[in-house]
Amino acid sequence: MGNGATRSLERVAAAMGALESAPIQFHRACDGAQGGVLLALPALLAEGLLRRTPEFYRLPNGFYGMESIFLLLGLMALARIRSLEQLRYQAPGEWGKLLRLDRIPEVRTLRAKLKLLCHDMGRAMEWNTALAQEWIARQNDTQIYFYCDGHVRVYHGDQTALPRHYVARERLCLRATTDYWVNAMDGQPFLYVNKEVDPGLIATLQGDGIPWLEANTAKTPEQEQRLAAGGVPHAQRDPGRRRNRERATGRARFAVIQQALAARDSQAHR
């Protein structure tokens, strides 16, 4: 059953298909490794980590239920464990105390569970939209402002040939994807968009960000009056001026990329 497994009867019942999932049981424990992450557990639950998951996700009967999997992923993020492979080098029994089970699942078991959860394409976006609607509704200001930003995520693997992006911190063109975020001004994340081929921030906002915000952001009566009095959506304002600005930005980026490639070639010939 593995190191640290003490709930033998429940595991046998799960193997026979007679247990839907092992219940999470809180007990007193001393000297728990990474125990500080439990201080953030109430905040995760208050933000809806488990509140909306039954509406969008299902798992077959087994010892590790959906709540255990989502809690484990949340605690991994808090403990800065960036991949499932890194979880292989953690003490399973100690982490079981955090999860309030006897031990955490093996990496291969966790991969199988995540494969089932990720089977339906677009389900994560639906779950994110449902939670974001709740978070946006909590904004009390009459004017809601959003902060949009993009980040380049470098790809270090060799399983696929991604297009190259300019990475400012390394001053090189590397294989990467671009992540775009739409946040509240205090940092609350509402929307996440990943682009393998980067069309640019403005094009991503026009194609993904603004339509999503218009569909999921409730307008107050005051905002409706402003739009009726002559307010024009951002996507419709002065397309010629915006096109010129995009061209200037594109030329500047192209010049920076050319300089980076020339510098790398000169270093290679030395």
Q: Are 113 and 209 part of one and the same domain?
A: no
Q: Are 174 and 246 part of one and the same domain?
A: yes
Write out pLDDT tens, residues 126-163. 998 888 888 888 876 655 778 888 888 888 888 888 88
Q: Are 153 and 55 part of one and the same domain?
A: no
Q: Are 156 and 242 part of one and the same domain?
A: yes
DSSP symbols for the chain:
--TT---HHHHHHHHTT--S-PPP-----SS-TTGGGGGGHHHHHHTTTTTSHHHH----SSSS-HHHHHHHHHHHHHTT--SHHHHTTS-HHHHHHHHTSSSPPPHHHHHHHHHHHTSSTTHHHHHHHHHHHHHHHT---SS--EEEEEEEEE---SSS-PPEEEETTTTEEEEEEEEEEEEETTS-EEEEEEESS---HHHHIIIIIHHHHHHH-PPPHHHHHHHHTT---GGGS-HHHHHHHHHHHHHHHHHHHHHHHHHHHHHHT-
Q: Look up the pTM and report it.
A: 0.72
Q: Are 260 and 175 part of one and the same domain?
A: yes
Q: Which domain holds residue 163?
A: 141-268
Write out pLDDT tens, residues 79-128. 999 888 898 888 888 888 888 888 889 999 999 999 999 888 888 889 98
Q: Are 105 and 167 part of one and the same domain?
A: no
Q: Which of 117, 152, 178 is the last residue of a domain?
A: 117
Q: Provide the number of structural domains found in the chain.
A: 2
